[in-house]
Amino acid sequence: MGKKIPQLIVALDVEDRNRAVELVDELGDAVSFFKVGSRLFTAFGPSIVEEIKSRGADVFLDLKFHDIPATVAGSVRAALSIGVDMMTLHASGGAEMLRAAAEAVEEMEAMRAGSEGGKGKGRSEIELSAEARNAAVSRAVEPAASRPILLGVTVLTSLSRQNLSEIYSYDGTIEDLVLRLVELSVGSGLDGVVSSVREAAAIRERFGERVVIVTPGIRFANADRDDQKRIAAPKDAVSAGSDYIVVGRPIIRAASPLEAAERMLAELKAAAT
């Protein structure tokens, strides 16, 4: 029996809107999931998400929300209102913040279920904030087809153990810290986490299949590390049990992004068989 093949998400880490849309169109035959990060979203806002969604693709909004609970809950509702399929929050924001985000998703899902159920479920039976209602009707964008995925960001792949010691005076291992943050995320109602391949296997072993694992920092063998500290090859993501991998520069900066994406998919498939 073959191993699970992680789904490829291409990170649109570009500053030019036209280039981002070109990449979505060019990769459309091979890739159906794209990440919009802070660079692209800050420049173009919700409209870039809407444009990608209009092409039939899924959107991973990677803004790593980290604020007081009420603000994060409002940000999550706003993201849901534009059809985002997956989004991130810093797990280090704490249980109260993470729970507020998870409750915002449940609230919006309840509202959608109520509207689809017609008279069978009156609005009075579902407690919705005015903010949630306003967010839901503010844009003419279809919501995600399935329940949006909330992810806790554990330890950025650009950080080393030395960095953690400098920032937090933390002397434990990265793996131990990641596992603590995964437990906090899942216990607070999130669907999964973002983690490097190095910790993904330990996450899968401890938490099983109930946790969605999204793995960034994936590179072809012998590729440039760029600014990533904890990188891995596609085969490593398969072995670790990742559900999704996020790949940016190795694909979008390739001479032929489509060929690079197809190569990445081929390596994932080969590793899974």
**How far apart (Å, rounded) are the C-alpha atoms in residues 257 and 19?**
12
**How far apart (Å, rounded) are the C-alpha atoms in residues 11 and 203?**
23
> DSSP characters for 16-51?
-HHHHHHHHHHHTTT--EEEEEHHHHHHHTHHHHHH
Distances (CA, A) of 181 to 184, 216, 244: 5, 17, 19
**How far apart (Å, rounded) are the C-alpha atoms in residues 216 and 198?**
11
The catalytic residue among 35, 53, 64, 229 is: 64
* Contact partners, residue 239, CB within 8 Å, separation at least 6: 3, 201, 271
∠ at Cα 240 (106, 40), nearest 5°? 55
Distances (CA, A) of 87 to 76, 127, 147: 8, 24, 12
- Across the chain, which distance is largest between two alpha carbons, in Å? 59
**How far apart (Å, rounded) are the C-alpha atoms in residues 30 and 21?**
15
Instruction: Tell me which H or E stretch contains 88.
Output: strand 86-90
Of 34, 33, 8, 6, nearest to 204 by C-alpha is 6
64 is catalytic: yes
Report, as residue numbers or ranges, the catalytic residues.
Answer: 64
